[in-house]
Structure 1
Amino acid sequence: METARTERTREWLAAHGLSTEGDPDDAARAIMPEIRGDAELADADKLEIGLGLLELLNTYWVTVELRWFVNAANDDAIWATHWQAVRDHLEQPVPSEAVLYSLWVDWFEDISTVERAFEETLGRDVPSLPEADEAVLRRAAAVLKVSGPVPWALKYPVYQAAMAVERLRPAVFGGVLYSYHDVYGSLEIGPALELLDALQLPDDTEHLAELREELKKGHANRHHRDA
């Protein structure tokens, strides 16, 4: 994925004698502190160039530093720009693995950021899901599948709304499945079983029978069932 940010970032890199060649994570670790430390750039410009670097490298470490920067900025405009960029990445035909991983293990696992992150990436779109276009449905499916750590009270209404869209039912199942398998997964057994029945998935759906069995045994999380 490349946008106007990409070229701006290339120009900034060239002006500062920096290169993205070599290992992407190593490049990100070297370049992101230089962007954040550039005293000639306003915060909005630092974000734009950092987002351009994400487009160039598509590597997790850029998202790590962007998260630090966005949280430290405490600026609604910065947050809005960041989350729009995240949504854009998740709406691509092949969503960015780096952005998805960051959403899962950083934004969704952090109790201080999960509510806003889930709202920005999916929750706000619930009323329009039945009429959503292809791009939004791609994003919804991607977010549902990494929603394991999202508190059940936040995601359950979203799961209920999403399952009304037939195309999203496998992704809702994926969300329930990984809520069970994720170390930090959040799941309530009764409502989860009701969801599995309401999804009306084929009986031979991979992992469906096993998940039902574990839930009926009273196991809400694979990692805690012997606790």
Structure 2
Amino acid sequence: MDVVERVRTWLADRDVVEADGVWLARGEELDADEVAHEWARELLEEPQLTGYARLLLGFGLLDLLDAYPVTVEIRRALEPGLTSEFWANYRLRLEAPKPPEAILESLWTDLFVDEDTAPIAFAEVLGNDLKQLHTPGGLRRARRVLAVSGPVPWTAKDRAYRYAATRPDLRLALPREWELTTHDPPQGR
């Protein structure tokens, strides 16, 4: 059974099911965000599971719902020894054909705006391997990350922006702030 099916089974055990794109919890209709708010934390605190299993199930719930609150709960429950797996899961979903709206929202509204997390998050989802991203998935990831990277401090994204500006397949993904500058760091950050 794949991870998403395990999550569906876990939810069904709590009388939460999806039918024709509609979530029902004990007969009450919910949207994906409501399901996430109600059950993500409980799933990510399952005491009989290892931290790694909880992380995988958390990403399975994210795949199922594509709801931002799941990303918040995954980060809250993340054990220190699992950060590599966390970032690998973000990169994987950023390369998928379907845009990972919840992950992009997580980057834009959480990880990239916090001065403590922005440099690490940007490096992990793009900066560390930008020059190796030549596959269709890799280019999708680069474009998606560049498009939401405006809040990242300039010192963390300068090299990546300069490199992306030399690539016609990435240049258009750079935020408008880059186009408006003379390619010198903007004032302030």
Secondary structure at the aligned position of 2:48 is classed as coil
Corresponding position of 2:160: 158
Amino acid corresponding to residue 122 of structure 2 in structure 1: F
What aligned pairs does 1:32-111 form with structure 2 within 5 A after superposition? Answer: 32-70=40-78, 73-75=79-81, 78-111=82-115
1:143 aligns with one of 136, 142, 145:
145
Runs of 4+ in 1 over 3 A off after TM superposition: 15-20
Q: Conserved in 1, the CA contact under 8 Å of 2:150 and 2:175?
A: no
Say whether 1:134 aligns with 2:123: no
Structure ranking higher in strand proportion = 2
TM-score by length of 2: 0.84
Letter matched to residue 59 of structure 1: A
What is the alpha-carbon distance in structure 2 between the residues aligned to residue 74 and residue 49 of structure 1? 17
Which structure's CA Rg is the greater one?
1
**Structure 1: where are the runs of 5+ without partners?**
181-191, 196-214, 222-227
**Change in 2 beyond 3 A, CA 1:174/1:121:** farther
Question: What corresponds to 1:123 in structure 2?
Answer: 127
Measure how far apart 1:123 and its partner are: 0.6
- Over aligned residue pairs, what C-alpha RMSD do you find? 2.3
Q: 1:140 to 1:42 in 2, by over 3 A?
A: same
Q: Report the equivalent of 1:193.
A: 182
**Conserved? CA contact 2:130–2:142, under 8 Å:** no
Question: What one-letter code is carried by the residue in structure 2 that aligns with 1:46?
Answer: R
CA distance in 2, matches of 1:175, 1:124: 22
Of 1, 4, 7, which aligns to 2:2? 4
In terms of fraction of residues, the more helix-rich structure is: 1
CA contact under 8 A between 1:108 and 1:150: conserved in structure 2?
yes
Structure-2 change in CA distance of 1:60 and 1:142 (3 Å): same
So what's the TM-score if we normalise by structure 1? Answer: 0.71
- Check whether the contact 2:111–2:117 (CA below 8 A) recurs between aligned residues: yes
- Is the CA contact 1:18–1:31 (under 8 Å) kept in the aligned structure 2? no
Aligned residues: 178
Q: Percent identity?
A: 37
In structure 2, the gaps of 5 or more residues are 24-29
Distance 1:91 1:193 in 2: 30
